[in-house]
């Protein structure tokens, strides 16, 4: 089952990222796959904890997000595109996704939420 979710995630990510363009230095094609170590955390039960490789991946995105507001907004939009994709939306545990910033002790908040307004981050 985990391999099916991973395949689905990769297909959706590739489909979304092919058309993604931003004016910031964030490249969705390179950024989103960074979070693959977090896939089991994002799709796991509410009691799940992010693994050390997941937190390391989240810290990589945190370093991108702290550079500038346009980078933070572009990263937010990349993550929102994945979160709002129809096949993944029902698989992601958004409580876990929202908790990653605090659980991994990030400097910024990484928004993985289909309802976030990325212009306000």
The residue extents of the domains of the chain are: 2-120
Per-residue pLDDT tens digits for 52-102: 999 999 999 999 888 889 999 999 999 998 888 887 778 899 999 999 999
What's the pLDDT band for 1 if we cut at 50, 70, 90? low
Mean pLDDT of 23-46: 85
Alpha-carbon distance of 18 to 13, in angstroms, equals 8
Q: 24 falls in which pLDDT band (50, 70, 90)?
A: low
Question: Are the C-beta atoms of residues 65 and 71 closer than 8 Å to each other?
Answer: yes
Note the CATH architecture for domain 2-120: Orthogonal Bundle (1.10)
- As a whole number of angstroms, the distance between CA 14 and CA 106 comes to 26
State the pTM of this model: 0.76
């Amino acid at each position: 089952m985990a391999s099916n979710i991973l395949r689905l995630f990769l297909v959706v990510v590739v489909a979304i990222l092919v058309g993604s363009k931003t004016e910031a230095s964030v490249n969705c094609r390179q950024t989103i796959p960074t979070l693959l170590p977090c896939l089991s955390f994002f799709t796991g039960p509410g009691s799940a904890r992010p693994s050390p490789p997941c937190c390391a991946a989240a810290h990589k995105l945190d370093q991108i997000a702290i550079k500038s507001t346009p980078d933070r907004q572009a990263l937010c939009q990349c993550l929102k595109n994945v979160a709002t994709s129809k096949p993944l939306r029902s698989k992601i545990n958004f409580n876990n996704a929202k908790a990653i910033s605090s659980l991994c002790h990030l400097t910024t908040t990484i928004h993985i939420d289909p309802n976030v307004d990325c212009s306000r981050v």
